[in-house]
């Protein structure tokens, strides 16, 4: 693609709608005759319902129906992997069979839905549902269950669909014991919750056996196919509408129970039903970053060259699904060690199934790996940046493939320079400002470049405008705007002549809005659809003796400003609109199904970056504040610098939350989350965040996809927690290996 528009700062096309309240989120659609559903949650974590009494609830004012496992319709929740449901869902297991039987798998599991005329009536009646249980002791603590850890079934498959074998090894299995210098430590990350501003919500409306869902989702076609499967109706009978998503961070990558319950409720009361999951219920209504325990052992020469890496990760999953993530994967490719062993194990517990959260896997894994790299650097008295440069991987050490592009050395160099790394004195506790201990830390960021199948349509109208369409979601990074920019650029039209449309299952099938892959996937599809529609236009003109372009081939013409002209004589040509009007066509369109080729077999494709963090730790009180942050990233072609830089600093904010404040606290006696609210689950607020700086190293990646986009949504998070922990060590001399780094751990 040319560079006329790509990369220039463009305002969000949905910005005005969002700040004026004009953007409709799932629960805000106006639907006539709407009834309201409220979930009732279990108060035990393990066991079964012995009786459930809904009489009082049913006779409360305004109540239309109460649905429990006793009267719910029998639905189909297929076992995976027998059914390929093409979704972000654990590869093995079965989605929670909501309201299908009396079994309780985790605390605050949905066990009933009350439907009433108003939200208040439903909320009140929900308190009247009486439940008795047969209770068993819950198991929620990973550490006590380590003995029953097992390799994920997916990881044992010959070709795991996620490409994540349970075990991996290269080189000498005894390299660690032979190393001149080594460290061997354990790192723990608590459960963390996504906590987006928008709650999970669905409005479900049946018309005969056709269902419309206004749903908060990161993957419109997946919600469509899941709900169709569960209700045993054809996919085309389910329409999912989701134009705006008020933050999600991974929490809406798969459909949870709520769209199914909303649809069930709407069918029962023969009216549209709105179901909004309350903030406290959010902590068990979608997944979370799983609790993990990781052992990282590094061996090196005295010069700081890695000779051995061992990374063993244990992650929690639910009783009924195997949630897996790339916990140990980055370790295989990030540094150039000839010897490397990784192992990945799951441990079951009475919890909701976890799910990807903000740079899943890599984010947790690199916290451990890059903390360990820092520990090794101190042990060897080597500068942490220099330590990473000495172990830079020039090719992917896991498979020997060349990188599609990589600017990591430049990220280290520029990051250090902008941050002022040279002012850092290496000794811990050597930098001070009054009562504050100052610390500087850094870490590497990495995230795979993914491209998923996606379809898109490009349509040019005879009035000289165009639209590009795909059923993608936009949870905030700027997909609406990205689609418009790539559409305008690929169609060779003025930016303000091109619109984008997304978030509706009637549009061509978009990819998942996740894995940092939306631009690479949907953007590539728009690029290809645009090429196809331009070729159609040229053919119309070329085949037409009334056209000045008669007989012209693609090689002979230029597309620019909504016009096709001859390269040899630019005065000979005509606009897209002229071609369409002469042919009496209101519009012309092309739809393509786009998918990756075999580039992944030839190149290793990842975004890389470096985070530099400065902290101020109160020497008396142990309170840590991030005072500065510099991030430099090589993320392929940047489509919109304005939204991309905002995405990078946003990721750093999330990483600071992971490092310093975020922790879902479980009372293991009851298996209950005790801080299921925003008052006690601490996401960073403005007062926690300094002015953060982010920069891109310009990359022209010719290999990863037709538009050269690597994806930056998640590389922005990866490594931040390690950089903060490393800065805290530099400030205080205390190595905190258990997140979050709260003041009690520093006193």
Contacts with ligand MOS by CB under 6 A lie at: 218, 249-250, 253, 356-358, 360, 514-515
- 306 vs 363, beta carbon nearer ligand MOS: 363
| Nearest-approach distance from CB 511 to ligand MOS, in angstroms | 11
Distances 176 to 300, 301, 307, 474, 691 between C-alpha atoms, Å: 8, 11, 7, 45, 41
Is residue 215 within 8 A of residue 241, CB to CB? The reply is: yes
Distance separating alpha carbons of residues 317 and 349, to the nearest angstrom: 6
Alpha helices in 158-256 (DSSP H): 175-178, 220-231
- 290 vs 384, beta carbon nearer ligand MOS: 290
| Nearest-approach distance from CB 86 to ligand MOS, in angstroms | 16
Residue 643, burial from CB neighbour count under 10 angstroms (0-12, 13-18, 19+): buried
Q: Which of 205, 489, 663, 714 is catalytic?
A: 714
Encoded tokens for 17: 């709608």
| Nearest-approach distance from CB 358 to ligand MOS, in angstroms | 6
DSSP characters for 280-303?
Answer: HHHHHHS--BPPEEEEEEEEE-TT
Active site residue 714: yes
- 90 vs 360, beta carbon nearer ligand MOS: 360
| Nearest-approach distance from CB 625 to ligand MOS, in angstroms | 27
Distance separating alpha carbons of residues 727 and 744, to the nearest angstrom: 17
| Nearest-approach distance from CB 697 to ligand MOS, in angstroms | 23
Give the count of alpha carbons within 13 A of 90, CB side only.
Answer: 25
| Nearest-approach distance from CB 452 to ligand MOS, in angstroms | 11
Cis peptide before 740 (omega within 30 of 0): yes
- 357 vs 468, beta carbon nearer ligand MOS: 357
Those residues whose C-beta lies under 8 Å from the C-beta of residue 535, and which sit 6 or more positions away, are 554, 590
Distance separating alpha carbons of residues 370 and 373, to the nearest angstrom: 5
Distance separating alpha carbons of residues 569 and 567, to the nearest angstrom: 6
- 121 vs 252, beta carbon nearer ligand MOS: 252
- 465 vs 511, beta carbon nearer ligand MOS: 511
Encoded tokens for 11: 């305002």
| Nearest-approach distance from CB 248 to ligand MOS, in angstroms | 6
Distance separating alpha carbons of residues 732 and 427, to the nearest angstrom: 10
Distance separating alpha carbons of residues 584 and 607, to the nearest angstrom: 47
Cis peptide before 81 (omega within 30 of 0): yes
- 165 vs 354, beta carbon nearer ligand MOS: 354
Distance separating alpha carbons of residues 198 and 739, to the nearest angstrom: 26
Q: Which residues are part of the catalytic machinery?
A: 714
């Amino acid at each position: 693609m040319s560079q006329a528009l790509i990369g220039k700062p463009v305002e969000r096309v949905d910005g005005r709608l969002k700040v004026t309240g004009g953007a409709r989120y799932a629960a805000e659609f106006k639907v006539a005759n709407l009834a309201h559903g409220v979930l009732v949650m279990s108060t035990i974590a393990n066991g079964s319902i012995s009786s459930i009494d809904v009489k009082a609830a049913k006779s409360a004012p305004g109540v239309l129906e109460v649905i429990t496992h006793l009267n719910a319709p029998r639905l189909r929740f297929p076992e995976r992997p027998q059914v390929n449901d093409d979704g972000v869902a654990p590869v093995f297991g079965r989605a929670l069979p909501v309201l299908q039987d009396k079994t309780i798998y985790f605390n605050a599991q949905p066990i009933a839905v009350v439907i009433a005329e108003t939200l208040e009536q439903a909320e009140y009646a929900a308190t009247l549902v009486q439940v008795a249980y047969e209770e068993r002791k819950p198991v929620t603590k990973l550490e006590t269950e380590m003995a029953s850890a097992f390799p994920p079934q997916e990881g044992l498959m010959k070709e795991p669909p996620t490409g994540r074998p349970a075990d991996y090894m290269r080189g000498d299995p005894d390299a660690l014991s032979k190393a001149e210098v080594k460290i061997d430590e354990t790192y723990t990350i608590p459960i963390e919750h996504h906590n987006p501003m928008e709650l999970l919500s669905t409005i479900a409306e049946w018309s005969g056996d056709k269902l419309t869902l206004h749903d908060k989702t990161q993957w419109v076609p997946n919600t469509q196919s899941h709900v169709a499967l569960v209700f045993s109706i054809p996919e085309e009978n389910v329409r999912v509408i989701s134009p705006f998503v008020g933050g999600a961070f991974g929490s809406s990558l798969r459909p949870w129970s709520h769209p199914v319950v909303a649809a069930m409720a709407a069918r029962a009361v023969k009216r549209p039903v709105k179901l909004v999951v309350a903030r406290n219920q959010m902590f068990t209504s979608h997944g979370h970053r799983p609790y993990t325990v990781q052992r990282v052992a590094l061996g090196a020469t005295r010069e700081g060259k890695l000779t051995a890496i061992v990374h063993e990760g244990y992650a929690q999953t639910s009783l009924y699904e195997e949630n897996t993530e790339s916990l140990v994967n980055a370790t295989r490719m990030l540094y150039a060690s000839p010897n490397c062993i990784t192992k990945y194990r799951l441990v079951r517990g009475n919890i909701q199934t976890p799910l990807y959260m903000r740079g899943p896997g890599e984010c947790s894994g690199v916290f451990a790996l890059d903390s360990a790299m820092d520990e090794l650097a101190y042990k060897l008295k080597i500068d942490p940046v220099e330590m990473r440069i000495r172990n830079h991987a020039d090719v992917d050490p896991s498979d020997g493939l060349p990188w599609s592009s990589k600017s990591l050395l430049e990220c280290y160099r520029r990051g250090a320079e902008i941050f002022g790394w040279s002012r850092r004195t290496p000794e811990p506790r050597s930098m001070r400002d009054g009562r504050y201990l100052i610390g500087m830390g850094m870490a590497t960021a990495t995230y795979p470049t993914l491209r998923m199948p996606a379809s898109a349509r490009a349509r040019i109208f005879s009035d000289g405008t165009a639209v590009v369409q795909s059923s993608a979601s936009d949870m905030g990074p700027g997909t609406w705007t990205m689609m418009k920019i790539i559409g305008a650029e690929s169609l060779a039209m003025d930016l303000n002549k091109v619109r984008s449309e997304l978030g509706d299952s009637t549009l061509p099938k978009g990819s998942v809005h996740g894995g940092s892959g939306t631009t690479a996937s949907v953007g590539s599809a728009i690029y290809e659809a645009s090429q196809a529609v331009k070729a159609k236009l040229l053919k119309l003109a070329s085949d037409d003796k009334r056209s000045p372009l008669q007989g012209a081939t693609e090689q002979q013409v230029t597309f620019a400003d909504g016009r096709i002209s001859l390269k040899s004589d630019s005065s000979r040509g005509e606009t897209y609109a002229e071609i369409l009007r002469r042919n009496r066509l209101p519009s012309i369109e092309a739809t393509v199904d786009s998918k990756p080729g075999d580039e992944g077999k030839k190149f290793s494709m990842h975004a890389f970056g470096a985070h530099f963090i400065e902290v101020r730790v109160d020497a008396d009180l142990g309170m840590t504040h991030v005072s500065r942050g510099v991030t430099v990233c090589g993320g392929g072609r940047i489509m919109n610098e304005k939204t991309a830089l905002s995405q990078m600093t946003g990721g750093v904010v999330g990483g600071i939350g992971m490092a310093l404040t975020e922790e879902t606290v479980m009372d293991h006696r009851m298996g209950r989350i005790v801080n299921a609210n925003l008052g006690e689950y601490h996401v960073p607020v403005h007062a926690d965040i300094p002015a953060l700086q982010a920069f891109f190293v310009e990359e022209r990646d010719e290999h990863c996809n037709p538009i050269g986009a690597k994806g930056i949504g998640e590389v922005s998070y990866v490594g931040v927690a390690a950089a903060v922990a490393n800065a805290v060590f530099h400030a205080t001399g205390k190595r905190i290996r258990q997140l979050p780094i709260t003041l009690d751990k520093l006193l």
